[in-house]
Copies of this chain bind each other. A is one copy, B any other.
Amino acid sequence: MKTHLAASVLMLMSSGAFAEDLGRTLPGEVGRVAPALEAYSNNALFGTVWQKDTLSARDRALVTFAALMTRHETEALGAHAALALDAGVTPAEISETITHLAFYTGWGNATAAATAVAPVFEERGVKAEDLPAVEPDLLPLDEEAEAKRQDFVSSTYGDVSKGIVDNTQQLLFLDLWLRPGLEPRDRSLVTVAALIAAGQPEQMTFHLNRAMDNGLSKEEAGAMLSHLAFYAGWPKVFSALPVAKEVFASRAE
């Protein structure tokens, strides 16, 4: 471990506020109760995983925020919002991630996230005009793809719950997904992270394909899985690996 530590210290020295932010996500009690966990955090997680450029620090911070929000780990969201801001995520993107994941992981996770992030925004002087508009000009719709998606959902579940079929189209695919506050690639990134963190690999095929259509590379997707093992737990990622393997294979054909 000593070699790792030396290397990580060098890397951390090169990144100032960000390194301090990572340290702040680890409460002091960890060292007093589980010194080994503190060492794994500083060496393996902060000193190695977070430093790998297979996925940018900005993407890692966004994905981590999405995972913690999905898991209702609200006590950790303030520190991770600060980390994300220092890693280059904008306040507007954090705001829009919370709005997006209200639909994908539930309203209560989103309202709790807003409560946790509000003091960080206030401390940093974030103003209302820095946040995504309520009714922005929407991105252009891929009408053919949407018609195909809606036809499938409507013909499959229209008889089961017309409400969910209608809301999925009106609120999600004709509105939320077209909001410009978060790049489509990033919207997909936080959605896939949320599905992995929620233990719902069965819903991942559509969204991982969409993420890759929107610009996420295979290498980035693989690095996201590896990163999320620490924050969602190894078993959640091992249940997601077969789905990712299948998506990668189907796209290579």
List chain A positions with a Cβ less than 8 A from chain B. Answer: 1, 25-27, 29-30, 32-41, 44-45, 49, 52, 54, 67-68, 71-76, 94-96, 98-99, 102-115, 117-118, 121-122, 128, 131-135, 156-157, 159-164, 167-168, 171-172, 179, 181, 194-195, 198-200, 202-203, 221-223, 225-227, 229-239, 241, 244-245, 248
8 examples of A-B residue contacts, CB within 8 angstroms? A30-B115, A33-B118, A33-B131, A34-B98, A40-B171, A44-B167, A73-B112, A163-B227
Given contacts A30-B114, A160-B244, A234-B103, contact A239 B135 (CB under 8 A): no
A231 touches B108 (CB 8 A): yes
A156 touches B195 (CB 8 A): no
A98 touches B245 (CB 8 A): no
B41 touches A107 (CB 8 A): yes
Complex Cα–Cα for A32 and B181 (A): 16
